[in-house]
Homo-oligomer: A and B are copies of this chain.
């Protein structure tokens, strides 16, 4: 039986994608080799590589004046590469902090230059996306950094800031979850292991004009321009992870694209949020309603003992990954694109049953 996979990342991958990868694993495209045995300079691999690039462009409506890069090191390496490339002396990196990941991005930027917290929901234990900030006095800002979705706290931006300075977003946990206007951003980055495929590849979407403003004195491999000039083939890319990314993107397209995926995600999250809201306080959502994430649904039960019982019974029914992050506790259901509607319906049903039996 296939598990109901609510892992926070690495996370579910669409079953048809896994089945296709399985079928092709030993002999890709009649080459007599696995895709992971192909030279990254071969025609067969380059087709995979370029297909992943063009599918992402198509699905997100990425304009031609943006580069799409496939890097390694996850969002954590981006936390360092961004200030290394773009936080110039005499300028300030502005941050809106909405959880642990934005805090980490801020912490790394601090070691490279001036930073400022423009707004934060830290005092409220990150239950919401801040709205009480002004963008009037950021003129000398190098950039404004946000985290579009907060896996640990279960909040998500609904409307992005109209930033007068370059806007950078960590979209690791919600890229391709809803339609976005790429042109609002100068740089978007996302580790693949939530909505894009397996861990080991990081997608960067960067405006060419912004790229041209980057600092020069950066080590070769940590310069975005090194990768943009070489179609992400400066050094050996993580070829199998990029192949899996290409298959996941094909799958998103087959579902009807991001617009349709968004509709399904709203339904999926809807089942679980309804189970919370209709539980008469048996379950309590961590996030404020207008900041609720479509991707990570965080909630608590009345006490530790009940939480433990809930997680235990859930596990017995093959619901995987429902324990909240160790820094918050409680429960979390991650309902990324590849988590099927049936899994979310089944979880909502189980939550209601468990409530009825334990209240």
Interface residues of A (CB under 8 A from B): 1-3, 5, 7-13, 15, 18-19, 21-22, 25-27, 31-34, 36-40, 42, 72-77, 79-80, 84, 107-108, 111, 191, 193, 197-201, 217, 219-222, 234-241, 244, 318, 320-321
Indicate if the CB atoms of A36 and B221 lie closer than 8 Å: no
Name the distance in Å between A233's Cβ and chain B's nearest Cβ.
11
* Chain B residues whose C-beta falls within 8 Å of the C-beta of A111 in the assembled complex: 217, 219
- Supply 14 A–B pairs (Cβ within 8 Å), ascending by A: A7-B37, A10-B37, A11-B37, A13-B37, A22-B26, A25-B25, A40-B199, A72-B77, A74-B236, A79-B220, A80-B220, A80-B221, A84-B219, A240-B244
* Chain B residues whose C-beta falls within 8 Å of the C-beta of A220 in the assembled complex: 76, 79-80, 107-108
Indicate if the CB atoms of A199 and B237 lie closer than 8 Å: yes
Name the distance in Å between A120's Cβ and chain B's nearest Cβ.
21
Name the distance in Å between A46's Cβ and chain B's nearest Cβ.
13
Residue of B nearest to A234 (CB): B76
Residue of B nearest to A26 (CB): B18
Indicate if the CB atoms of A244 and B36 lie closer than 8 Å: yes
Indicate if the CB atoms of A239 and B1 lie closer than 8 Å: no
Name the distance in Å between A115's Cβ and chain B's nearest Cβ.
14
Name the distance in Å between A28's Cβ and chain B's nearest Cβ.
10
In the A-B complex, the 4 residue pairs with the closest CB atoms? A200-B238, A3-B32, A36-B198, A76-B235
Of listed A8, A39, A42, A241, residue having the most chain B CB within 10 A: A39
> Given A13-B36, A36-B244, A80-B221: A236 and B199 within 8 A (CB)?
yes
A13 to B320, CA, bound (A): 32
Known: A10-B37, A108-B221. 8 other contacts (CB 8 A): A3-B32, A10-B236, A11-B37, A21-B25, A36-B244, A76-B235, A80-B222, A200-B200
A12 to B244, CA, bound (A): 19
Indicate if the CB atoms of B10 and A38 lie closer than 8 Å: yes
* Chain B residues whose C-beta falls within 8 Å of the C-beta of A32 in the assembled complex: 1-3, 5, 318, 320
A168 to B318, CA, bound (A): 47
Residue of B nearest to A7 (CB): B39
Indicate if the CB atoms of A38 and B7 lie closer than 8 Å: yes
Name the distance in Å between A26's Cβ and chain B's nearest Cβ.
5
A109 to B75, CA, bound (A): 25
Contact of A240 among B38, B75, B241 (CB under 8 A): B241
Indicate if the CB atoms of B198 and A240 lie closer than 8 Å: yes
* Chain B residues whose C-beta falls within 8 Å of the C-beta of A236 in the assembled complex: 9-10, 74, 191, 193, 199
* Chain B residues whose C-beta falls within 8 Å of the C-beta of A15 in the assembled complex: 26
* Chain B residues whose C-beta falls within 8 Å of the C-beta of A237 in the assembled complex: 199
A296 to B34, CA, bound (A): 21
Residue of B nearest to A38 (CB): B10
* Chain B residues whose C-beta falls within 8 Å of the C-beta of A19 in the assembled complex: 26
> Given A2-B32, A72-B74: A39 and B8 within 8 A (CB)?
yes
